[in-house]
């Protein structure tokens, strides 16, 4: 099977227009490329390392999101880590503080008009995040519930 850019070695990033992340651009990216999940208890979004400038712009935008709701007593700006899987050349941004994720990103996305099946993934992910935020995740029954919520096909 032939892949269009698999042998490409030179890229002219100056030809790519500047990315302006706004709420609907971010929603479109999430619905097309995003993943709602947990890896090492942290949510993640992945993209090939050649698109690292996209992830950098998303990271900056998420850190500047206005607070529309504050559940936590001391919510900090979401801490975002960019990591690279050298084996697969996939860059991943991970939001590592649950309070920032819960208060900033989850409530921001709750107001967004999802148009794809990703809305169901987001709903299950939000429930699992809520259980994690309230501490139920640390109980055996809570972990089982998070697992069943995160993987609703499993019984």
pLDDT < 50 positions in the chain: 1, 154-155
Gap between the Cα atoms of 125 and 37, Å rounded: 7
Which tens digit of pLDDT belongs to each residue from 135-148?
888 899 988 888 77
Q: Could you tell me the residue ranges of all domains in the chain? A: 13-114
pLDDT given for residue 154 in this prediction: 47
pLDDT given for residue 50 in this prediction: 65
Q: Is CATH 3.20.20.140 the right assignment for the domain spanning 13-114?
A: no
Gap between the Cα atoms of 149 and 102, Å rounded: 17
pLDDT given for residue 113 in this prediction: 94
- pTM value is 0.74
Within the chain, residue ranges assigned H as helices are: 23-33, 52-63, 98-100, 107-110, 118-133, 140-150
Q: Is residue 79 within 8 Å of residue 97, measured between CB atoms?
A: yes
């Amino acid at each position: 099977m032939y892949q269009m850019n698999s042998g490409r070695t030179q890229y002219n990033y100056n030809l790519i227009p500047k990315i302006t992340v706004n709420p609907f651009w971010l929603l479109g990216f999430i619905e097309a490329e995003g993943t709602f999940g947990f890896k090492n208890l942290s949510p993640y979004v992945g993209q090939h390392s050649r698109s690292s400038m996209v992830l950098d712009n998303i990271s900056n935008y998420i850190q500047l999101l206005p607070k529309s709701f504050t559940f936590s007593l001391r919510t900090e700006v979401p801490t975002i880590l960019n990591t690279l899987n050298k084996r697969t050349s996939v860059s991943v941004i991970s939001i590592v503080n649950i309070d920032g994720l819960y208060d900033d990103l989850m409530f921001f996305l709750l107001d967004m008009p999802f148009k794809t099946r990703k809305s169901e993934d987001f709903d299950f992910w939000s429930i699992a995040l809520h259980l994690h935020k309230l501490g139920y995740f640390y109980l055996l029954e809570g972990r089982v519930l998070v697992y069943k919520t995160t993987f609703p096909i499993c019984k």
